A and B are shown apart, each in its own frame.
Chain A
Amino acid sequence: MSIAQSLLSIVLEEAGRHQVQRVTKVAVKVGAWANVVPSSLTFSFDLIKEGTLAAEAILAIEQMPAQGVCHACGASIDMAQPVFACPECHSKDIELTSGQELYVDHIEAE
């Protein structure tokens, strides 16, 4: 059960449920903190999609930036690098709000 295998099984399940002939595109969203390298996911997906309804599907990966919020002053914070404290008010009460996404957004099929 690798990430590419889990992705393919979701795609094939959706393709079956909607009774399509073939999948042409798979759109995936991956957060900067999701610990997934787009090029290796594409490489593995392209290897295992052979011989399935998704054999010709293009994997489109959209990378989502890591964003946080400061609960003390409400500032939104760029979390691309490790952040100790809010750059505005120096509070340590900060939380990640986006950047951990790892999901299939939609697929295109015929």
Chain B
Amino acid sequence: MADINVGRNILEANERLAAEHRRRFAQAGVKVLNLISSPGAGKTSLLEQTLSRLAGRLRCAVIEGDIQTDEDARRVAACGVRAVQIETQGACHLDGAMLAQALEPLDLAALDLLIIENVGNLVCPVDFDLGEDLKVAVLSVAEGDDKPSKYPALFREAGVLLVNKIDLLPYVSCDLERIHRTCRALNPKQVAFDVSCKTGEGLPAWVDWLESWVKG
């Protein structure tokens, strides 16, 4: 019988790719966001709203991760922005190998901002670093104010929190302050915006912040 000492990080293969991608992004001078939420929280709606407001201000492209269909990529392309679709064939998150393929057709040096919409899932995408500068967590008020404490990993890692669908606050029991309290405890440095993709409320503040973050 042999006892073999290993001491290897289980995610080492993905982390090597993430480091490589991070180097490429820095070299090209493009800032990269990894957009994460549960299914239907409004990632693609936020992209549509954000990209149309950024037209003429920043050169953007999008990578769309979905288990199936290119519907979200078509919604983004309709805003006049280059969108590359990754169909994960069942995988519930994007990883470095999938991203490497999606990056192939893109000229990174010609971009200011690349946004990656991850597969709708509050858990697994958090483990797979894509080499992004910032994780953006999207939470809709309809999901309930207990989500940050039930799924702390995402809300701890996210540099930005977008609380979406605030137009629905009169119809759902959701304590907005509880969401912010929990997230502040999980990550005191997090920047947070309350927004609605339906009414547009809160979006200008988020888009202005994003523009100055990319340029800064």
List residues of A whose CB falls within 8 A of some B CB.
1-3, 6-7, 9-10, 14, 18, 20, 24, 28, 33-36, 82-84, 92, 102-110
Contact across chains for A84 and B185 when beta carbons are under 8 A apart: yes
By beta carbon, the residue of chain B nearest A19 is B2
Query: Can you list the 8 inter-chain pairs with the closest CB atoms, starting with the nearest?
Result: A82-B185, A35-B153, A104-B6, A1-B95, A103-B9, A109-B2, A84-B185, A107-B4
Contact pick for A33, options B149, B156, B184, CB 8 Å: B156
27 chain-A/chain-B pairs, Cβ below 8 angstroms: A1-B14, A1-B95, A2-B91, A2-B124, A3-B10, A10-B8, A10-B10, A10-B12, A14-B4, A14-B8, A33-B156, A34-B127, A82-B149, A82-B152, A82-B182, A83-B185, A84-B184, A84-B185, A84-B188, A92-B188, A102-B9, A103-B7, A104-B7, A104-B10, A105-B7, A108-B1, A109-B4
Contact pick for A106, options B4, B96, B126, B127, CB 8 Å: B4
List residues of B whose CB falls within 8 A of some A CB.
1-14, 91, 95-97, 123-124, 126-128, 149, 152-153, 156, 182, 184-186, 188
By beta carbon, the residue of chain A nearest B96 is A1
Contact across chains for A35 and B149 when beta carbons are under 8 A apart: no
- Chain B residues whose CB sits within 8 angstroms of the CB of A24 once the complex forms: 1
Count of A-B residue pairs with CB < 8 Å: 83
Contact across chains for A7 and B123 when beta carbons are under 8 A apart: no
Contact across chains for B1 and A6 when beta carbons are under 8 A apart: no
- Chain A residues whose CB sits within 8 angstroms of the CB of B1 once the complex forms: 24, 108-110
Question: Please, how many angstroms separate the alpha-carbon atoms of A14 and B14 in the complex?
Answer: 18
A34, A82, A83: most-surrounded residue (chain B CB, <10 A) = A82
- Chain A residues whose CB sits within 8 angstroms of the CB of B127 once the complex forms: 3, 34-36, 102
Which label, helix, strand, loop or mixed, suits the secondary structure of the A interface?
mixed
- Chain A residues whose CB sits within 8 angstroms of the CB of B186 once the complex forms: 82
B4, B7, B8, B11: most-surrounded residue (chain A CB, <10 A) = B4
By beta carbon, the residue of chain A nearest B3 is A108
Q: Measured between C-beta atoms, what is the minimum distance from B181 to chain A in Å?
A: 9
Q: Measured between C-beta atoms, what is the minimum distance from B205 to chain A in Å?
A: 25
Contact across chains for B2 and A14 when beta carbons are under 8 A apart: no
Q: Measured between C-beta atoms, what is the minimum distance from A34 to chain B in Å?
A: 8
- Chain B residues whose CB sits within 8 angstroms of the CB of A82 once the complex forms: 149, 152, 182, 185-186
Question: Please, how many angstroms separate the alpha-carbon atoms of A3 and B98 in the complex?
Answer: 15
Contact pick for B13, options A6, A105, A108, CB 8 Å: A6
Question: Please, how many angstroms separate the alpha-carbon atoms of A33 and B96 in the complex?
Answer: 22
Q: Measured between C-beta atoms, what is the minimum distance from B101 to chain A in Å?
A: 13
Q: Measured between C-beta atoms, what is the minimum distance from B19 to chain A in Å?
A: 15
Contact across chains for A18 and B126 when beta carbons are under 8 A apart: no
Q: Measured between C-beta atoms, what is the minimum distance from A22 to chain B in Å?
A: 11
Question: Please, how many angstroms separate the alpha-carbon atoms of A9 and B13 in the complex?
Answer: 10
Question: Please, how many angstroms separate the alpha-carbon atoms of A24 and B3 in the complex?
Answer: 10
Extra pairs beyond A6-B13, A82-B149 (15, CB < 8 Å): A1-B95, A1-B96, A7-B10, A18-B2, A18-B4, A33-B153, A82-B152, A82-B182, A83-B185, A102-B9, A102-B11, A103-B10, A104-B6, A109-B2, A110-B1
